[in-house]
Every structure is written in structure tokens, then in C-alpha cells.
Amino acid sequence: MEKSLDLINARIRDGTARVVTAEEMPGIVDELGEEGALEEVDVVTTGTFGAMCSSGAFFNFGHADPPIRMERVWLNDVEAYAGIAAVDAYLGATQEADAKDRLYGGAHVLEELVAGSTVELRATSRGTDCYPRRSIVTELLLEDMNQAVMVNPRNAYQRYNAAANTTDRTLHTYMGTLLPRCGNVSYSGAGTLSPLANDPGFRVIGSGIPIFLAGAQGMVVGEGTQHSAGGGFGTLMVTGDMKRMRQEFLRAAVMNGYGVTLYVGIGVPIPVLDTGIVRSTAVRDEDILTDIIDYGTPRRDRPSLAKVSYADLRSGSVEVGGETIRTSSLSSYRRARAVALELKDWIERGKMELALPTRLLDPTKRSKPMRETAVSPRVRDIMNRQVISITEDEEIRVAAKRLLKDETNHLPVLDGNGTLVGIITTYDVSKAVVTDGKLRQVKDIMTRKVIKTTPDEPVDVAARKLEQNNISALPVVDTTNRVVGILSAIDLGKLFGGRRRR
């Protein structure tokens, strides 16, 4: 049995369409079977509400008198891109204001406009014969704009990797605050309610289909940037009229230590045309798997600590390496459910009919990494391979002589097997001197939590470790934690000094 879209839309128009949310669909399939669910259900509504940094809006402000060709534009001190036309601009959600007293950005401006607040428009220009004005400052409401069109390049991720942190310090990321030593796991996405999780083959989600976007009727433009559906990370580019949006589904937020983002509510209606669609919309949280990624590794390809399901994540804790770790969601499942329910209401009341894609999205596509034409230097390129070290059982006076003899300020400390267990500096030795001989061995004064690097780590990353930890050298270790070199601030100075001379 199959159903046509025309039949479904006819039922929507006459008020007889059976519409359910993606949260309800698995139970219906369990009760009626796939064929029975196909006969019973016409539309499945989905919803998600989470941080979607790749969002923003185009504005047309209208012409002033005398007219101005806006070359630089600010809205509440947040700069918008004005390289489009005389009085058009695009404001990105993550663009931050020229203000030091608070963290405020494009997302806040967008929310305030939707909430009915005024914003200050400030623009400058060189002036031309046809646009003689050189500056303007005025206040605008959303209704004063000719157009305010939200165009979000990358929204509604099919799924997200969860995040953890194996380092000894707290990390501030777009996945929220990650506590040291795997103190928490952060995740995002609405699981069974997520739009793309209910159509992973992109059979009915594609260009031109109607959607719920921040409380307004919107549309899918096409694949989102970084669309990588072949790996389970598909995205959508979406658009909608900001003048019809509502604040409850469009909220600015600040990720501490990271920056500004925008929470957006998106819902996609899925026409139930055949048993294949019945099967995909019966997805449960248990069926959606993702990796817990170690954000403590400052590289593009970070290691996976565990593979879990959304059911595991939503349970409140997961097990990683034999340890139970608490989980927390960056998304609002309650608000995602509200999106799906409101979209269901729209369709039941005939406010929205469905459409098939005018252009299909590629379910096999994978995004590519950046092509880098300049090779980033690695630690191995500049590290000092002549490492002076000491063992943990040697006396402090031996360490002092070694530091003086070899004119170094740092001694990696090794155990009996030759692996790194600590580090001491001239400062550690000088402090030991004033203890009147109470501290005798290197292990009594060494720092045990060693900040270190590896030969293949980018120099920029190693330099950031030095800066963040206020230290002047990093032991370089191999995969067995054996010291193969040492990287000092002097080594970095030679590298960056050479760059400046060139």
C-alpha cells in the first residue's frame, strides 16, 4: 500500500488527516504494525530546539533622505555584513558587539527584534554622487524593515557527537563547559523528535518543503553547510520571515568562555507515503547512536571515548572506561516537543499543507576538511631533542647541580622504567633550599601533573598550553609516555621571530 501526497493534502484541507508527533509514532507502529500505521497515519511532525550558531538574517532598511550607501553597518553595536547593496545587510548570530562590558551579539539583536524591541542602526559610508550621505544613526523596529528574512546556513543537525574532557582543566566549548577528568558529558539534539533522524535517507526532506521555523512557516532551501549525511551528520539550510517569528522559539544565549549563539526551534512535517517512511519515523532514542568525543584533544580529528545511544544520554548518566559519568543536554526536549505539537496543530487545522522536495539532498555526501596550502609547523620541528632529565629517587642537590651545569630551568622526572612522572624547575629547587633539609629527594618537590605535548602536535596548540598554564616549557612524550624532547618558550620565540623576519 502507498499513499499519494495529493491524498494527504486533501485530508488536511477537509480536516480528516491523522497527524501524530515523532514521539508518538513508535508506539503506533508497535500496536498496528507497519501496514496498519501506514493506513492510520498521514503526517508525522518532528521538532528540535537547540543552539544553532550558523544562523542569521538579511535586512533591507529602506533609503534615507539624503540617501546613503551603507559600507559598514552596526545594529546595537554588532557589526553586520554590508557588502551586498546600499541598504541591505546580513547579521550573523555569533557576531559579537564592540563592547567590553558585556557579551552581546547578533543573536541578542535578532531575539530583541522578534520580541518587539527597537534596535539602533548605525552606518557609515565614503559618500558618492548618487549616495552623498556619509553616516546615519536611527532606531528601528522589525516592522520598520522592508524585509527581515532569516536565512540559516546550517541548522537541524541529524545528530551531534557528545562531548567530554580528559584533561586536568575545565574547557569552555560550543558544547558547553566540560569539567576536567571526564567530570561530565554534554550532548545536544532531540533524539527521536529530531527532523533528520526521522528521514535519514532524505526521501521527503529537501529543497522547497515547508517547515516550522522559530514560530513561523519557513522553508528548506537545501543542504546546510557541512552537510555530511553519509556519516550521519546531515544539515539543512532554512529560511523564513522574521516578522512572523516568536521569541519563545528564538532565544539568544552565551556559552561561557566561548561566545554567543542562537537557540532556534525547527520542525519538519513528514508525509507518510509508504512503509519505508513508517519504518524511519518509528525511530527511537535507543536506535540513534553517537560517539562521546574527547574535546581535550585540540585537533580536528578527536578520539572517541565511547559509543552510546540517545537513550543512554537522556538517562542522566553513561559509562566511560568503567566510570559512571553524569550527562546534561544543551538542547531543550520540552521545547522540541512544543515545536512538534504546534506543527501538528497547524496541519490539523489546515494552516499548512505538505510538499515534496523540488530538489533532493544527497544522503551519501560527506564534508571535506579544509585544504591547507601552508603546512603548520609541528612540535617535532622545533623541539630540543637533547633532554636533560633526572629520576624521582635522586637527591635534590643532584638536581640543582644538573640544572646549573646544563644551563636549563626544567628537568623532566622519570621513574625506574624511564617514563615521565613529573617535572622540576629551578624555582622548585630554590624553594626546597629554605626547608632546612626536610625535603631530600626529587619526588618530594616535583610537579606530578605534568602539562606535556607530543611530537606531532601543532606548535600553535603547544604555545597555547604554555600561555594557559603560565609555564615556560613542555616535555615532549611519545605514545608510551617516554620523553623524546622538550619544548621551551625560547624555542617558540625563535620560530615566531623567524616568521617576523621573513
Instruction: Please report the DSSP string for 445-483 in residue order.
Output: T-BSS---B-TTSBHHHHHHHHHHHT-SEEEEE-TTSBE
List beta partners, residue 60.
88, 147
| Residue appearing with cell numbers 533532493 | 360
Q: Which residue has the cell 503526517?
A: 43
**Which neighbouring-strand residues pair with 50?**
264
Cα(347)–Cα(212) distance, integer angstroms:
11
Which amino acid appears at position 301 of this protein? D
Catalytic residue among 98, 100, 126, 130: 130
334, three cell numbers? 520540552
Write the single-letter amino acid at 248: E
Omega before 66 within 30 of 0, i.e. cis? yes
Helix axes 396-405, 426-433, angle to 10 degrees: 140
Contact 44, 276 (CB under 8 A): no
3-state helix, strand, coil in the chain (%, to 5): 25, 30, 40
What's the rounded Cα separation, in Å, for the pair 41 and 271?
Answer: 9
Angle at 418 between CA 459 and CA 425, to 5 degrees: 60
Tell me the CB-side half-sphere exposure of residue 249, using CA atoms within 13 A. 23
- Give 368's Cβ-side CA count (13 Å radius): 3
Is residue 182 flagged as an active site residue? no
Alpha-carbon separation of residue 55 from 49, 187, 353 (angstroms): 13, 20, 26
Q: Read out DSSP for 65-125?
A: SS----SEEEETTEEEB--SSTTEEEEETTPBPS-SSS--BHHHHHHHHHTT--EEEEEE-
CA dihedral 148→196→348→353, nearest 10 degrees, is 60
* Whether 404 contacts 264, CB under 8 Å: no
Catalytic residue set: 130
